[in-house]
């Protein structure tokens, strides 16, 4: 049995109702005597016994030795938590007939990936909890494992979930125009069969959680490294039967996320359940090994596509088959179908293309779940499309720049609807192409390439155009029934000292959200940026909103702040006009002062105005509405998404003796609408490029046929390092969206979306004279040598 908690360990006893001072004497309620140093309830630490098998039935669990271990307070199995936590299912209504089984925090009968948590241990320290985990005896009955895409789809395949009947989570077909006719009449056809390696985010900061349940008030506070505190407030309330108003989620500056910290993980729900069971605060920090096993993975795709061409190099039609493997469960609440869905809807997006058919299959396997990560389908769609375009150029004898220019959606075609139904307000494809051509000095690069080839040096030049989804509306998730907000909220106030406080629902992960919001507020109010304090990431102190994902921070959060600031500015000028007996339209705010618009004469500073409003309201006109606090909410209402666009260029050198690829230079021309902070935009793009280069050349989670991760450490899993990254040159075109006054779109995924596609084309350009191609990323030295026939 579990050890009973002593009286001083119980947070719902008389201990812990207020914080005693150290060494103070306190009267124990009902005891009539004093004691020294009352012990407050201590935080417990969680560790998990995980399945060593990718697929097995749980026969028995013996936790007796673990319960007797030093410092252990609780040992909990799946059936214990299932009584508290309603299971979750990773499907959305607009993905018709999608299926995924209910998921619980701890496995109960069956394990379906290696690393799935089975038993939780609570102890006074993490070390004690981990030691106790080693004492747990779990008897498993191994089952057959399915890992590969083809194996999962084969007739009679091993089923990941018997109850589902097959390994298909979701499938859909998109068709527009006369595809068969386009291919029958084509002057030429090119095709690709591309494999994209599964990889994982490898954030510097791991997933962390501290859950603190107060049983007396049935109140839950969770300090959570999540991008979306309001999403988790809703999830914890619904799945644990709590009032939403009594659930508080605090997500400070949580560090690297890239989409990985959007999703529900079994450990999240388990830690909350453990705090409810123990009536104590519970802490969990994923170590690096656990991150490799259980953080979402991504981009496990096989894309087969064909492009039909006319004699003059026009795109006549496209066929796409995308098979994407998502692991054992679909992620909750955003599902694991979104990535594949965006691949088939973004293929061919920059081009005039009417005849289009795409088939998508989303497939279960005995591996960790995949889901949204920086780019969410964009890099796959871009790489596959742009590889087809380069092959088409080669087949027809056209330059890669020329064939793109010939087929882009042109300026007079906007607003434009793609063959897959996406609507573009306005893009700048041709302008970006021209700017990249000049930025690269493309003719000189080609001349140098020709000279070096005569010396046996194999350099390649690749380009890749992308279109990126930003500023998502409810059409993204709300339409499918997910409680994921497409709007943001802002509460803005002037404090009595004249400082400005901005509480806003977008969150900070190091990408500069707070900087951007503070910059907008300071600019519009005419105050120094240092006088603006931006508060984010707390459901108790900030208004409800969607937070930060899908490049919505500046475009939606920034617009919310802009509208709130203009509302507050109007109030300030109205109040100042009443105090100074001037018309509000004759006054202006600048440098924290109220000045006359025409002469620049300073009339009073903002602090003086605030002091009158807060402390001497008796001196103000009785009919004046003296509000120095405003609230504003905003959601996109025009186009469902604000699409951005751009183009990448890459210069590489391939050593055909060793297979090593050297990145020499990378260029990006992007259009994210109105640029608010140029430095933040440039560095967001550079960071994204590096992640794209990682996918192209280094990063891959390697599994054997038993579903075991073979490179789950930083010694074996390769990420790009500083010495491998080339100079990244960035230029911009600005096409503001007219759906907002700010005009900003997103830029956070612009670097990732096309980097791997550009490098893929560059490497194949380098290998062109050798009559070989590579069609799998990452493009490792072994794969290069295999393509060259040097190794088997």
Span 587-626, pLDDT tens digits:
999 999 999 999 999 999 999 999 999 999 999 999 999 9
For the cut 80, the answer to whether the pLDDT of residue 19 exceeds it is: no
Lowest-confidence segment of 35-49, 196-210, 309-323 by average pLDDT: 35-49
Type and span of the H or E element at 492: strand 488-494
**For residue range 102-140, what is the model confidence (pLDDT) as tens digits?**
999 999 999 999 999 999 999 999 999 999 999 999 999
Q: Tell me the percentage of the chain whose pLDDT exceeds 70.
A: 95
pLDDT category of residue 41 using cuts at 50, 70 and 90: low
Residue 16 has pLDDT above 80, yes or no: no
Q: Is the pLDDT reported for residue 11 higher than 60? A: no
Per-residue pLDDT at 475: 81
Q: How far is CA 289 from its chain centroid?
A: 21
**Using the 8-state DSSP alphabet, how is residue 622 labeled?**
T
- Nearest Cα residue to 451 out of 463, 443, 441, 439: 443
Question: How many other CB atoms are found less than 10 A from the CB of residue 438?
Answer: 10
Tell me the average pLDDT of the chain. Answer: 94
3-state secondary structure of 584: helix
Q: What is the pLDDT of residues 409-455, one digit of tens each?
A: 999 999 999 999 999 999 999 999 999 999 999 999 999 999 999 99
pLDDT at 37 over 60: no
Tally the C-alpha atoms within 13 A of residue 417's C-alpha that lie toward its C-beta.
5
**pLDDT tens-digit map of 722-739:** 999 999 999 999 999 999
**What angle (nearest 5°) sits at the alpha carbon of residue 46, between those of residues 711 and 91?**
70
Is the pLDDT at 35 greater than 60? The verdict is no
How far out from the chain centre does Cα 368 lie?
17
Of 308, 193, 331, whose CA–CA distance to 262 is shortest? 331
What distance in Å separates the CA atoms of residue 669 and residue 676, rounded to the nearest whole number?
17
Does 415 sit behind a cis peptide bond, omega within 30 degrees of 0 on the bond before it? Answer: yes
Q: Is the fold of 24-32+487-634 the same as that of 408-417+428-473+641-792?
A: yes
Considering the domain delimited by 408-417+428-473+641-792, tell me its CATH architecture.
2-Layer Sandwich (3.30)
Dmax (CA) of the chain: 98
b/e for 632-663, b at 16 or more Cβ within 10 A? bbbbbeebbbbbbbbbbbbbbbbebeebebeb
Q: Which region among 41-45, 376-380, 579-583, 667-671 has the lowest average model confidence (pLDDT)?
A: 41-45
Please report which residue ranges of 586-677 form alpha helices under DSSP H: 606-615
Chain-centroid distance, C-alpha 99: 23
Q: For residue 22, is pLDDT > 80?
A: no
pLDDT for position 417: 97
- Domain assignments of the chain as residue spans, ordered by start: 24-32+487-634, 408-417+428-473+641-792
With 0-12 CB in 10 A as exposed, 13-18 as middle and 19+ as buried, what is 42? middle
What average pLDDT score do residues 165-193 get? 98
Q: Residue 20's pLDDT band (boundaries 50, 70, 90)? A: very low
User: Is 702's pLDDT higher than 50?
Assistant: yes
**Residue 791: predicted pLDDT:** 86
Site of tokens 């069971």:
277
Pick the CATH number of 24-32+487-634 from 3.40.50.80, 2.40.50.100, 3.40.250.10, 3.30.365.10: 3.30.365.10
Q: Provide the 8-state DSSP code for 42.
A: P
pLDDT value at position 32? Answer: 36
Q: List, in sequence order, every residue forming a beta bridge with 602; answer none if it has no partner.
A: 595
Burial of 691 (0-12, 13-18, 19+ CB in 10 A): buried
Is residue 559 pLDDT above 50, yes or no? Answer: yes
pLDDT of residue 34: 37
pLDDT digits (tens, 9 = 90+) for 62-89: 999 999 999 999 999 999 999 999 999 9
Residue 25 pLDDT exceeds 60? no
pLDDT at 18 over 70: no
pLDDT at 15 over 60: no
Residue 23: pLDDT band (50, 70, 90) is very low
Q: SS3 of 274, please?
A: helix
Residue 177 has pLDDT above 70, yes or no: yes
pLDDT at 36 over 90: no
Across 705-709, average pLDDT? 98
Peptide linkage before 778 cis (omega within 30 of 0):
yes
Interval 616-657: pLDDT, tens: 999 999 999 999 999 999 998 889 999 999 999 999 999 999
Distance CA 485, CA 564 (A): 19
Residue 382: pLDDT over 90: yes
| CA 355-361-364 angle, 5° bins | 170
CA distances from 460 to 27, 365, 545, 652 (A): 79, 37, 46, 5
Residue 342 has pLDDT above 80, yes or no: yes
The tens digit of pLDDT for each residue in 465-500 reads 999 999 998 888 989 999 999 999 999 999 999 999
CA distance 738 to 472: 15
Q: How many H helices and E strands in the chain?
A: 19, 31
Q: Mean pLDDT over residues 747-768, rounded?
A: 97
3-state secondary structure of 232: helix
Mean per-residue pLDDT, 85-107: 97
Q: How far apart are CA 358 and CA 451, in angstroms?
A: 42
Rg (CA), the chain: 29
């Amino acid at each position: 049995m579990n050890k009973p908690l002593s009286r001083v360990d119980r947070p719902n006893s008389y201990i812990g109702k207020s914080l005693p001072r150290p060494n103070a004497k306190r009267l124990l309620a009902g005891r009539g005597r004093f004691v020294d140093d009352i012990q407050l309830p201590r935080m417990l630490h969680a560790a998990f016994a995980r399945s060593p098998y990718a697929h097995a039935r749980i026969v028995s669990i013996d936790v007796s030795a673990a319960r007797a271990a030093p410092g252990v307070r609780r040992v909990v199995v799946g059936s214990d938590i299932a009584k508290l936590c309603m299971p979750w299912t990773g499907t959305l209504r607009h993905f018709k007939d999608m299926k995924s089984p209910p998921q619980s925090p701890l496995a109960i009968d069956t394990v379906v990936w290696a690393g799935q948590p089975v038993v939780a241990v609570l102890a006074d320290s993490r070390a004690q909890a981990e030691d106790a985990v080693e004492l747990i005896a779990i008897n498993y009955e191994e089952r057959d494992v399915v890992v590969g895409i083809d194996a999962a789809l084969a007739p009679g395949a091993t089923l990941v979930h018997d109850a589902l009947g097959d390994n298909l989570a979701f499938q859909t077909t998109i068709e527009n125009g006369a595809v068969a006719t386009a291919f029958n009449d084509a002057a030429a056809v090119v095709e690709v069969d591309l494999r994209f390696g599964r990889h994982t985010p490898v954030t510097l900061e791991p997933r962390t959680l501290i859950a603190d349940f107060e049983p007396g008030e049935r109140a839950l506070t969770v300090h959570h490294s999540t991008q979306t505190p309001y999403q988790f407030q809703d999830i914890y309330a619904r799945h644990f039967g709590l009032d939403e108003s009594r659930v508080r989620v605090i997500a400070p500056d949580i560090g690297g996320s890239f989409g990985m910290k959007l999703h529900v993980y079994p450990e999240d729900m388990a830690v909350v359940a453990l705090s409810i069971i123990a009536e104590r605060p519970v802490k969990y920090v994923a170590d690096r090994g656990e991150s490799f096993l259980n953080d979402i993975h991504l981009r496990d795709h096989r894309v087969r596509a064909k492009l039909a061409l006319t004699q003059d190099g026009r795109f006549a039609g496209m066929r796409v088959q995308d098979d994407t493997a998502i692991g054992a469960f679909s992620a909750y609440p955003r599902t694991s179908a979104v990535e594949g869905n965006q691949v088939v809807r973004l293929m061919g997006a920059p081009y005039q293309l009417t005849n289009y058919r795409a088939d998508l299959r989303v497939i279960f396997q005995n591996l960790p779940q995949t889901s949204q990560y920086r780019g969410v389908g964009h890099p796959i769609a871009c790489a596959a499309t742009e590889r087809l375009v380069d092959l088409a150029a080669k087949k027809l004898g056209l330059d890669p720049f020329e064939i793109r220019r010939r087929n882009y959606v042109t300026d007079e075609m906007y607003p434009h609807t793609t063959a897959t139904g996406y609507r573009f307000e306005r893009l700048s494809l041709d302008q970006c192409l021209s700017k990249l051509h000049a930025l690269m000095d493309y003719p000189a690069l080609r001349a140098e390439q020709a000279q070096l080839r005569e010396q046996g040096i194999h350099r390649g030049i690749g380009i890749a155009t992308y279109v990126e989804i930003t500023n998502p509306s409810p059409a993204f998730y709300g339409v499918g029934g997910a409680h994921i907000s497409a709007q943001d909220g802002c509460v803005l106030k002037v404090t009595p000292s004249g400082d400005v406080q901005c509480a806003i629902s977008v969150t900070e992960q190091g990408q500069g959200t707070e900087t951007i919001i503070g910059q907008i507020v300071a600019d519009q109010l005419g105050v120094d940026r240092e006088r603006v304090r931006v508060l984010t990431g707390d459901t108790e102190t900030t208004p409800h909103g969607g937070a930060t994902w899908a490049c919505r921070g500046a475009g939606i959060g920034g617009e919310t702040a802009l509208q709130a600031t203009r509302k507050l500015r109007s109030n300030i000028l109205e109040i100042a006009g009443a105090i100074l007996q001037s018309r509000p339209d004759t006054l202006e705010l600048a440098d924290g002062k109220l000045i006359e618009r025409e002469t620049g004469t300073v009339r009073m500073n903002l602090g003086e105005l605030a002091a009158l409003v807060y402390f001497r309201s008796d001196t103000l006109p009785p009919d004046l509405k003296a509000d120095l606090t405003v609230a504003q909410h905003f959601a996109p209402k025009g186009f469902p998404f604000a699409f951005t666009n751009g183009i990448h260029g890459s210069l590489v050198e391939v050593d055909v003796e060793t297979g090593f690829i050297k990145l020499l230079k990378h260029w990006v021309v992007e259009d994210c609408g109105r640029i608010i902070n140029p430095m933040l935009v440039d560095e967001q793009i550079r960071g994204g490029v590096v992640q794209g280069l990682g996918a192209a050349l280094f990063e891959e989670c390697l599994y054997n046929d038993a579903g075991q991760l073979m490179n789950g450490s930083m010694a074996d899993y390769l990420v790009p390092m500083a010495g491998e990254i080339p100079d990244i040159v960035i230029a911009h075109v600005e096409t503001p969206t007219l759906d907002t006054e700010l005009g900003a779109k997103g830029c956070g995924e612009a670097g990732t979306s096309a980097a791997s596609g550009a490098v893929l084309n560059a490497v194949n350009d380098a290998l062109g004279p050798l009559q070989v191609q590579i069609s799998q990323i990452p493009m490792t030295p072994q794969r290069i040598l295999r393509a060259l026939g040097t190794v088997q």
